Chains A and B, each alone.
Chain A
Amino acid sequence: MKVAVLGMGSVGRGVLSVLAAKDLGFSVTALADSKSGLINPSGIDIKKVLAQKKKTGRCGDKTISAMDVVKKADYDILVEVSPTNASTGEPALTYLKTAMNRKKHVVTSNKGPIALAYKELKSLAKKKDVALRHEATVAGAIPVFHTLEQGLAGNEIFAIFGVLNGTCNYILTRMAEEGLTYEQALLEARELGYAEADPTYDVKGIDAAIKLVILANTIWGNGVRLDDVDRTGIDLLTPYAIHLAEEEDCTIRLIAEADRRTGLLRVSPRIIRKNHPLVVEGTLNAISIETDMAKEITLIGKGAGSVETASAVIGDLLFIAGQYDRRT
C-alpha cells in the first residue's frame, strides 16, 4: 500500500527508517516536514531523503506544503506524526479530516486531535469506511489499543490504571533511589533529554491526563475532555514523602486512573506497593486493565523513543493492510 508521511521529527524518522529497512509491503509516495514536501507516485528513496534531511534540515521542495501532500498526493494511508498541539489539535486535525474525506486511512501518533476530537474523527472514519488508528498516542511502544480492541475483544473494560509519563516516572524513580530533591531529579532528566526545557506539560500531569482522555474515549466512547480529569502533578513532592512511603514497603508514582463504574478520571501521585506491577523504573510506562473476563492485565514497555514509537505506527499500518488491502 502507498503511504504518505507527515512529520520528520523523532517518530517520523523512526517510521521512515523502519520502512526503508524492512520489506513490509509499503511504498512511501509522499512526505512532508514543517518546511517542505516531496511527492513521488512511484516511490520515494527513503534513505536518500533521510540523509538530505540530516544535511539540510528539509526533506524536499519548499513550494510543496504538508497540506499539498494531504490533498494532492496519491496514497492509501496517511501517517500523521507531526508535533502535538494540545489546545487546538491543529494543523494535524485538519490533515486527518481532509485525508479521511478523500477516503484515505489515517494513522497518527498525535495526541492533540485524538484527545480533542476523537468522536468526530471516529464517526468520519466510519462514514468514509476508512481506518483511524492511533496506537502511538498512548504509551509509545506498548500496543494498548491493539490489546484492548483485538486481544481483549468481548471483554467489558471496568477500569484502567497507568504510568503514562516517562519523564515523571524517571524523576520519581531517581528521587526514591538517590534521595534527590524534585529539582535535582528534574535537572538530571533534562540533561539526559527526558524532560523539556519547560517541563510543565509533563510534571503537572497534563500529558498523562491527555493520554487518559484518549484511553477513556477509545474504550468507552464517553466524550470526556481534558478538563474532566482531576489532576495533580509531581512538582510539589519531597524526597521525605517518598522516604515515608518506602518505610512501609511502598513508593510514590504518578498514576492515571479511569473507572467506568464510578466515572472517576484522575491523575495524581499515589502511594503504591513496591511490588505492584505498575511500579516500573526509569522512563518505562505501564498500563493495567481491569476487565470482566480476563480480570487484570498489565502491559509494560517503552513509552517514548524513535524506533519504539515507530513500532506502534508500523503495527497500525500492518493492521490496516491486513484489513483493507485486497491485493494481499
Chain B
Amino acid sequence: MQFENRAPDEHVNYSIEHPLKEFAWLVGGVLGSLLILTLLVGFFAGELAARLPYRYEKALAGEMAGQLVGKTPDPRSAAIEQELNRLAARIAAHLPLPEGMQVTVHYQDTPELNAFATLGANIVIYQGLLARMPDENTLAMVLAHEMAHAQLRHPARSLGRGVAVGIMLSALNSGMGRSAAGGALSTTGGISLLKFSRDQEREADAAALAAIAALYQHVGGAQDLFRVLESAGAGSEDLRVSMLSTHPLSHERIDHVAALARERGWAADGARTPLPAILIH
C-alpha cells in the first residue's frame, strides 16, 4: 500500500486577505464608534450636570476654592479684588443667576491676558487683562461674560462631560488590558474635550451683553473688549493665551455683538464710565 502526506491546502487554515484591509476596517470602525460614543456620553453628561441643583456644585467647589486663591493676597490685590466684587454685584443684579449662586471674583497679580470662570461661580481675572481695560464698561463686559458662563452652568457642564468621558475611556482602557490600542484610543478621546465650546462662548456673550445693556443703557464696552483681545492676539506671541484659542475669533464676536445690539434695540455706544482709581495701572 502506498501512502503520502499531501501538502496542506493554503486557503483553509488562514486567510490570504491583505492585513491592511482588516487594519483599516478595525481602526476606522472602532475609532468612529468611539468618537460617536464620546460625543453622546459627553453631551448627555453635560446636560445632566447642568440640571443638578447649584448647591451640589457649590459644595464641590468649596473644596477647590483654597487652591484657586492660593496665597493670601497683598493689601493692594485685596483692595482690587474688593472693587471687582463690587462691580460684579452690580452686574449680578441684571443676570438671572440660579438660586443660591454668589459670584466671587479673584484677582491674580500675573501678566497673563486671561480671565476664566470655574465651579462655584468663582471667577479669576489676571492683572495682564485688567491692565488693558480702557474703562469700566469694558471691564464689566469681561466680568459679565465670565458670570454668564457661571449662570449658564458651563463649568458644571464641562466637568460633567470630562468626568463621564474620562470614566468611559478608562473603563474601556482597562477592558482592553492597557494594550497599545487602548493607549491610542484614550489619546483620541481626550482630543475631543475642549474647555468651553464656541457655542457656549456665543451664549455667554449674548447673556453678558443683555446685562451690560441693562446696566449702562448701551453696549459700548463689548466691542472694545474684543478689539483689545484681537490686537493683543495679533501682537506678541506670549499673549496668545488659552482664552484666544478656544474663543470664537474676535472679529466674528464683534459682528455677533453688533447684530445682537441691532436686533434688541440697544444703543451701540454711549457715555463711558471711567475705571475706579484703584483699578488703573
Are chains A and B native binding partners rather than an unrelated pairing?
no
B residues in contact (CB < 8 Å) with A: none
Chain A residues with CB under 8 Å of chain B are none
